[in-house]
A and B are shown apart, each in its own frame.
Chain A
Amino acid sequence: MRIALALATMLMVVTTASCTTAGKPALDGMSFTDEPLSGKVIWNDLITEDIDAARRFYGGLFGWSFEEINRPGRTEYNVARLGDVFVAGLLAVDRRADGQSVSRWLPYVSVTDVDEAVQRGVGQGASVAAAATDVALGRVAAIIDPQGAVIGLATSRIGDPDDATTRAAPGRVVWHEMLASETSEAASFYSVIAGLEARMITRRGGEYILLLQEGTPRAGIMARPNDEVQPVWLTHFGVSDPAVAARQAESLGGRIIVQPSPEFRDGTIAVVTDPSGAVLVLSKTSI
């Protein structure tokens, strides 16, 4: 009897210790803040119509490994790891009957109260793409901003990943950027719903809006390249060499939309799609 109790206690203690530190999950290699980092993107999901192809693509391009999350009765969902850090999620969705692709990267911005942020967004002209709901990370929702760009909102129940955890590196998400039809109006909208401060900067003769959270740049807004581009949030991933990575993306079933070139942000980025058509930016990032 005593031996059984001792063994049982040891088993639970070991399990708990491996999972929590000071009441929080100690996901190896990740650390979390006590207070929300409102305005910071704290998670990114790929919504994809071909999750098998997506695993091959991102595994080959970034060296990610994948863990399937058990969700009975729901479509397949994987979380991707790079080393010890969870970097993103991959969600399988069915194709739409009308044939239009819904594959996309969807960033989730930290807010202190998702339901309240949705209401503020709707009050500013946004519409609800996915109503607020509870998931593993915490409470989340997705909205379509007044210009048509889709963005996720999240309140994490375990704190937000700190900046050391999300530091830029190859294979990781390194930046978010909105291609807007009206840049100033977009900046005002995200100030209202996520408390971000907009700062206009000039670079290479053009205007660019940085969105800051307590002085830290969290995202950018620029005018869309032309009026045919639907306003969208783009997710940038770190790569050592955008040209090499773009070719590799192509060999893995993706497509190059914009080749890196000296005229295009000094050759530091490439825009590609994955096999199911989700757009991503490959952004030069040092180790």
Chain B
Amino acid sequence: MKKTFRRIMLVAVLVAGSLTTACTGNVGVGLSVGVPIGNHGYMSVGTHRWR
């Protein structure tokens, strides 16, 4: 009886855990894109174009 109780609770905890993981796992991308962005310093030249 105790063994059955433990098994049921173990399954329940595992299912609940996986549901929680899926819940927090619904956002985020995390895709690595290794493209150099160049020299940002030049953005300060010609700021009159920022209308």
Contacts and interface: CB of A to CB of B under 8 A. Distances in A.
Contacts, number: 189
A226 B50 contact: no
Interface string B7-51: 011011101100110111111111111111111111111111111
Contacts of B1: 1
Contact of A67 (B4, B22, B24, B46): B24
Contacts of B20: 15, 19
Interface residues of A, number: 81
A96 B36 contact: yes
B43 A204 contact: no
A190 to B, nearest CB: 18
**Size bracket of the B interface:** 35 or more
Interface string A155-181: 001100000000000000000000100
A12 B37 CA distance: 47
A137 B29 contact: yes
A18 B34 contact: no
A276 to B, nearest CB: 11
A269 B50 CA distance: 10
Interface of B: 1, 4-5, 8-9, 11-13, 15-16, 19-20, 22-51
Interface of A: 1, 3-5, 7-9, 11-12, 14-16, 18-20, 25, 27, 43, 45, 47, 67, 69, 71, 74-75, 77, 79, 86, 89, 91, 93, 96, 100-104, 106, 108, 129-130, 133, 135-137, 140-142, 144, 150, 152, 154, 157-158, 179, 203-208, 222-226, 228-230, 232, 257-258, 263-265, 269, 271, 273, 277-279
| A-B pairs, 6 with minimum CB distance | A8-B12, A206-B51, A19-B23, A225-B46, A230-B38, A228-B42
Given A225-B49, A279-B40, 17 more contacts: A1-B8, A19-B23, A20-B23, A96-B36, A100-B36, A101-B37, A106-B31, A152-B33, A157-B26, A208-B51, A223-B49, A228-B45, A229-B38, A229-B42, A263-B48, A265-B50, A271-B44
